Every structure is written in structure tokens, then in C-alpha cells.
């Protein structure tokens, strides 16, 4: 069986600084990493390949910066990686990313299950997975916290606001997985070294038959402003701190 | 006259989305599509000009092909949905079918220049607010609950029954109801614990403090999802519960952006934190720098001396 896992190379928001005066974001020198949700997705694909036989393939779409992600992704267990890259795909919207992924999946050809994280840590749109399934015309099961395969039937548990939904569908299908699906491994040195030798297929959208119009964003960015908490930021220390706090809270009518 | 669509399974979601749609285009025709008769009935008296009730499927996701075909014919200018997980899946499938933009967890939406709509949403775990204008129609958006007041009731419009559902490729085996809504959204005071709490038994300290203030107890994501000391419905954050209490008190919470984003609308934030360089100090109104195991008992004693927190 072939399990294709999609992942996104994202900025680590913990490194992003906000200027309190201008509310501008400092995005230089921000580390990038595989979106944490997608690490669980990769783990899920690799475990399924081990259980069922077959292979896990890592697939990512993005700008030139995605080159830095490949070794990390492959050290987590996939047999090989496919990267569709061009500068226009840096920060592309979910519509463009899903169209590019769909073209890449068609290019890969045979597959049984597509696995995506439930959302990316940067934009958290929660769209790419279900968009991709719709474009490929295969069933989508989102927010999956557990799954089993028996033959060509996928049984999945979805964690929804109203409860746990158990569903079945036939392969090929797509799932988006929650972190509950299983903890991601921390690659060991041997896996990291082996990752450098695994094959990587590099494609461009043009090679997949996608013109510039396919990647055109559906919205124009007007503003991006850091959120600044408008708080008093009063620091209380030492013995009188508790009494001082309660006095202030009472004065404000909070308690 | 353009059409604005609202797709909702729950009655309260339907009427809230109709209020959003009315703001977006006061003169447009508001159409509500649903698979739930209760939502159809509510929409029919609270804002919809047309209500389409679909039936025959075990899950609303199964109506996507019908809704897509209808959207291609009727060409709505905008399609609004709730921000629950089912709705997000439906919205994304429709957006892909219509090759349209979709604003997830939209917090602000209005008519922009020309045909465009202006929207706002948080990105980077709540660190930044992104404002965008759509470049083509339709616009799709998923909108969290609780931001607007539903429109006043008036004489009901007729509910049109629709049929012709295709079989759902995803078969429902079972739904185990397990409501995840917690008392946190309604609480006046919340005491939230974070990784600074060392043992599960020590939750008692937080419970006592919450009781003294007449409030509820909440936690950060690791306490619920990694340590599993409290149920998932207790965790607050951008991917968990969101709350805006009068008073939000944290014990041993460092103040990661993903957590603070879920409680950003709290009226007053008080932190008890050992580390004076923790981000919570910048995100709180008052921070007591100290060990929560010393400060919390002092707080409890002081509240007791003064006849409780209320």
C-alpha cells in the first residue's frame, strides 16, 4: 500500500517578535520547522506502512525554503519525498496549495490513503486536506483521532464538538489527523544519516501542468498586525503582594 | 440583488450567521440551507428570505454535492458557515468545488471595495491579525459563534423541502454523544493551571481558589492533552475553549501565545508565576512573582478573612 503524507514547512511562531509601537512582525531570523500537526501525520503514515506493508511518501509544496525540510521529513520514516516548489508558492493560499498537491498526487499515480495534519501551525486554515480530497474526488474524513484499516475499508474515529463519530469509507481516501493519532518520533542519529540518502523528486508547478492562474491567490493582503495585549502589566512581589492585589481587584469591582 | 448563503446544522448557528449576512449586505436575499428542521424553523423567522431544508442523509457532509450544484446555478456572492469541525470540512469541500477563497475562523467581515469582501482572522497561533480583501466571488467564511446578536423574530417564510441526495461515500457507523462544551464560556471567574503545577493532587489548590471566587477551573493544553489531569473540555487556547471572563487567574502558566489567544477578551488577567521573564507577565494586568504553592494559600487565607471573594 502507498500512504502519501502531506506536510508544511512553517515559521516557528515562538521566534516571531511583535513591535509594541508599530505592531509590525519581525519575521527575519525566525526558525522554520515541520508544522507540529504534520509530524503526527507523518508518524501515522509511517506506522501504517509498517503495519500494512508498503511505503510512506512525504509530499510538500512551497518555496525554495522547503529544501531545508526534506532531511527532517525523511528522518521520520518515509521512503522518499516529493517536493513541488517555486517562489510563488511561498506563503501561497490554501486554494493554490491544494491544487498543486492534487496535481502532485496525480503525478505520483497509485496511492491508497492520503494523510494530512488537521491544520498548519502558522495559518491553521484547516482547509488543505478537505480541499485536496474534493479536487481528487475521493472521500475525506477530517479530525481523525484514531483509525484502522481492514482490507480496502478504512474505519476512523472523528473527534467532533458533539461527540465521537465513527465512520467507514473505502480506499482510496483522505484523512486529516489530530495529534491524538499518535506521538511523533524523535529521529535518532542513524535515521538522520539515512535520511540524506533517500530519494527526493523535485518538481515545479509548470512541470505538473499548472499555469500561473492556478496559483493566483483568492484574496489580497491588506494588513498584518501583531496582536498587542492591552494590559496593565503591574508586577507585584514580596510579602504585601497578595493584599495589594486584592485591594486593586476590589477597587476595580472584580471581586 | 445578490444572494448570501448561510449553511448551518444548529438553530443558534443559523440565526447568528443570518445576522452576519444581514450586516454584510442589508439589501441582499438571505438564503439558509440546512439538514435540520429545527434550524430551518429558526431561520425562517429570524432573518432568512428563503429556507431550503434538505433531508435523507445521516450526516450533513453528505449534502455537499447538492449544495455545490446549487451554488454553481445560483451563484451566491458569499457562503457563511459555523466554525465547528463538520462545518469546516463542508466549507473547504465547497470552496474547492467553486475554486473560491475561504476565510477560516473569520472574526471580522464586511463589504470591501467593489465586489470584494474584507475579512480578518488570526494567524501564527493568535500572534497576528490578517486583513484581506477577496479578489473574486464567492467568498466563503467559517465564523465562530457568540459574536453577534440574532435578528429579531418576524413572520415566518415558507420552508422549502429539498430532495435528491446522493449516497454518502463516508458511512456513519455510530455517533457517541459527548458534549465538549464546558461551563468555561459562561464563567465570571476562571482559575487556570499550567505546567507550573507539579502534581495532579495539587489541582485542589486551583479548585479551592475557583470556589472562593465562585468560578470555574480551566487549564492549558499540556495539562489536558499530555498529562491528562483534566478533561479536554477544560483546556483554553486558540485550538481549545475560548472564554472572556471578568477575572482570569493563572497559576503556573507561562503565557504561550496559543494559550493567551483563547482568553484575550478577558476583562482582567491575574497571574501567579515564578519566572519574571515569562511571557505571561507582559500579557497580564497583575502578576504576583512567586511560587504558586506559597501564593495560592495566602490568597485563599486572605479571601477567607475578608468573607470570601464575592
Q: What pLDDT score was predicted for residue A98?
A: 98
Q: Answer whether A165 sits within 8 Å of B102, measured CB to CB.
A: no
Q: What pLDDT score was predicted for residue B17?
A: 98
Q: What pLDDT score was predicted for residue B166?
A: 77
Please give the span between the terminal C-alpha atoms of chain A, in angstroms, as a whole number: 61
Q: Answer whether B128 sits within 8 Å of A11, measured CB to CB.
A: no
> Cβ of B15 under 8 Å from any chain A Cβ?
no
Q: What pLDDT score was predicted for residue B309?
A: 46
Closest chain B residue to A226 measured between Cα atoms?
B128
Q: How many CB atoms lie within 10 A of CB B277?
A: 8
pLDDT per position as a tens digit, A19-66: 988 999 999 889 999 999 999 999 999 999 999 999 999 999 999 999
Q: What pLDDT score was predicted for residue B255?
A: 94
* Domains observed in chain A: 2-227 (3.40.50.620)
A141 in Cβ contact with A166 (< 8 Å): no
Q: What pLDDT score was predicted for residue A77?
A: 97
Residue A131 with chain B: CB contacts under 8 Å: 92-93, 95-96
Q: What pLDDT score was predicted for residue B180?
A: 58
pLDDT at A228 over 90: no
By residue range, what is the domain housing residue B50?
Answer: 3-162
Q: What CATH number does the domain containing B250 carry?
A: 3.40.50.1220
Q: Answer whether A242 sits within 8 Å of B302, measured CB to CB.
A: yes
Q: Answer whether A248 sits within 8 Å of B181, measured CB to CB.
A: no
Q: Show Cβ contacts of residue A96 under 8 Å, excluding neighbours closer than 6 positions.
A: A89, A214, A215, A216, A217
Q: Clarify whether residues B288 and B204 are in a common domain.
A: yes
Residue B287 with chain A: CB contacts under 8 Å: 233-236
- Count of structural domains, chain B: 2
Q: What pLDDT score was predicted for residue B26?
A: 84
Closest chain B residue to A231 measured between Cα atoms?
B285
For chain B, what is the radius of gyration of the CA atoms? Answer: 23
Q: Smallest Cβ distance to A13: which of B127, B131, B176?
A: B127
Q: Answer whether B189 sits within 8 Å of A169, measured CB to CB.
A: no
pLDDT per position as a tens digit, A96-151: 999 999 999 999 999 999 999 999 999 999 999 999 999 999 999 999 999 999 99
Q: Smallest Cβ distance to B95: which of A127, A222, A245?
A: A127
pLDDT per position as a tens digit, A160-219: 988 999 999 999 999 999 999 999 999 999 999 999 999 999 999 999 999 999 999 999
* Residue B118: inside a domain: yes
* Residue B245: inside a domain: yes
Q: Clarify whether residues B248 and B285 are in a common domain.
A: yes
Q: Clarify whether residues B195 and B134 are in a common domain.
A: no
Dist CA A176 CA A159 (whole Å)? 11
Residues in chain B, pLDDT under 70: 164, 179-182, 307-310
Q: What CATH number does the domain containing B40 carry?
A: 3.40.50.620
Q: Clarify whether residues B119 and B8 are in a common domain.
A: yes
A118 in Cβ contact with A126 (< 8 Å): yes
| pTM, entire model | 0.90
Q: Clarify whether residues B121 and B192 are in a common domain.
A: no
Amino acid at each position: 500500500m502507498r500512504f502519501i503524507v502531506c506536510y508544511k514547512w512553517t515559521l516557528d511562531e515562538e521566534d516571531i517578535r511583535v513591535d509594541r509601537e508599530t505592531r509590525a512582525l519581525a519575521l527575519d531570523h525566525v526558525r522554520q520547522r515541520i508544522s507540529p500537526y504534520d509530524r503526527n501525520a507523518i508518524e501515522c503514515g509511517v506506522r501504517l506502512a509498517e503495519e500494512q506493508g508498503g511505503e510512506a511518501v512525504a509530499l510538500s509544496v512551497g518555496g525554495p525554503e522547503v529544501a531545508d525540510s526534506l532531511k527532517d521529513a525523511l528522518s521520520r520514516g518515509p521512503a522518499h519525498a516529493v517536493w513541488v516548489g517555486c517562489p510563488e508558492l511561498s506563503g501561497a493560499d490554501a486554494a493554490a496549495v491544494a491544487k498543486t498537491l492534487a496535481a502532485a498526487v496525480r503525478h505520483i499515480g497509485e496511492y491508497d490513503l492520503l494523510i494530512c495534519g488537521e491544520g498548519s501551525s502558522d495559518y491553521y486554515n484547516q482547509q488543505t486536506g478537505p480541499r485536496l480530497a474534493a479536487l481528487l474526488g475521493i472521500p475525506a474524513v477530517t479530525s481523525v483521532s484514531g483509525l484502522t484499516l481492514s482490507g480496502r475499508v478504512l474505519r476512523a474515529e472523528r473527534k467532533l464538538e458533539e461527540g465521537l463519530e465513527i465512520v467507514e469509507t473505502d480506499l482510496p481516501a483522505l484523512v486529516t489527523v489530530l495529534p491524538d493519532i499518535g506521538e511523533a518520533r524523535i529521529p535518532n542519529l542513524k535515521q538522520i544519516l539515512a535520511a540524506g540518502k533517500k530519494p527526493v523528486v523535485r518538481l515545479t508547478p509548470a512541470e505538473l501542468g499548472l499555469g500561473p492562474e492556478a496559483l493566483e491567490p483568492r484574496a489580497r493582503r491588506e494588513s498584518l498586525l501583531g496582536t498587542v495585549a492591552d494590559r496593565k502589566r503591574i508586577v507585584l512581589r514580596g510579602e504585601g503582594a497578595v493584599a495589594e492585589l486584592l485591594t486593586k481587584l476590589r477597587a476595580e469591582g472584580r471581586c | 440583488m445578490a444572494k448570501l448563503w448561510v449553511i448551518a446544522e444548529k438553530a443558534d448557528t443559523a440565526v447568528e450567521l443570518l445576522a452576519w449576512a444581514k450586516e454584510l449586505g442589508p439589501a441582499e436575499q438571505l438564503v439558509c440551507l440546512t439538514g435540520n428542521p429545527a434550524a430551518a424553523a429558526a431561520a425562517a423567522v429570524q432573518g432568512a428570505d428563503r429556507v431550503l431544508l434538505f433531508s435523507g442523509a445521516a450526516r450533513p457532509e453528505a449534502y455537499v454535492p447538492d449544495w455545490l450544484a446549487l451554488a454553481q446555478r445560483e451563484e451566491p456572492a458569499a457562503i457563511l458557515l459555523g466554525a465547528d469541525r463538520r462545518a469546516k470540512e463542508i466549507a473547504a469541500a465547497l470552496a474547492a468545488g467553486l475554486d473560491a477563497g475561504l476565510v477560516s475562523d473569520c472574526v471580522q467581515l464586511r463589504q470591501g471595495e467593489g465586489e470584494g469582501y474584507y475579512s480578518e482572522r488570526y494567524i501564527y497561533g493568535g500572534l497576528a491579525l490578517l486583513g484581506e480583501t477577496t479578489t473574486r466571488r464567492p467568498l466563503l467564511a467559517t465564523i465562530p459563534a457568540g459574536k453577534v446578536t440574532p435578528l429579531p423574530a418576524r413572520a415566518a417564510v415558507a420552508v422549502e423541502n429539498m430532495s435528491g441526495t446522493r449516497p454518502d461515500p463516508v458511512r456513519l457507523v455510530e455517533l457517541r454523544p459527548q458534549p465538549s462544551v464546558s461551563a468555561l464560556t459562561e464563567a465570571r471567574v476562571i482559575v487556570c493551571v499550567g505546567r507550573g503545577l507539579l502534581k495532579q493532587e495539587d489541582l485542589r489548590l486551583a479548585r479551592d481558589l475557583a470556589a472562593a471566587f465562585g468560578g470555574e477551573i480551566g487549564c492549558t493544553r499540556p495539562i489536558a492533552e499530555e498529562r491528562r489531569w483534566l478533561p479536554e473540555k477544560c483546556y483554553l487556547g486558540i485550538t481549545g475553549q475560548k472564554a472572556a471572563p471578568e477575572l482570569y487567574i493563572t497559576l503556573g502558566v507561562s503565557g504561550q501565545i496559543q494559550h493567551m489567544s483563547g482568553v484575550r477578551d478577558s476583562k482582567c488577567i491575574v497571574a501567579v508565576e515564578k519566572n519574571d521573564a515569562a511571557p505571561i507577565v507582559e500579557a497580564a494586568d497583575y502578576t504576583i512573582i512567586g511560587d504558586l504553592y506559597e501564593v495560592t494559600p495566602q490568597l485563599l487565607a486572605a479571601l477567607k478573612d475578608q468573607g470570601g471573594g464575592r
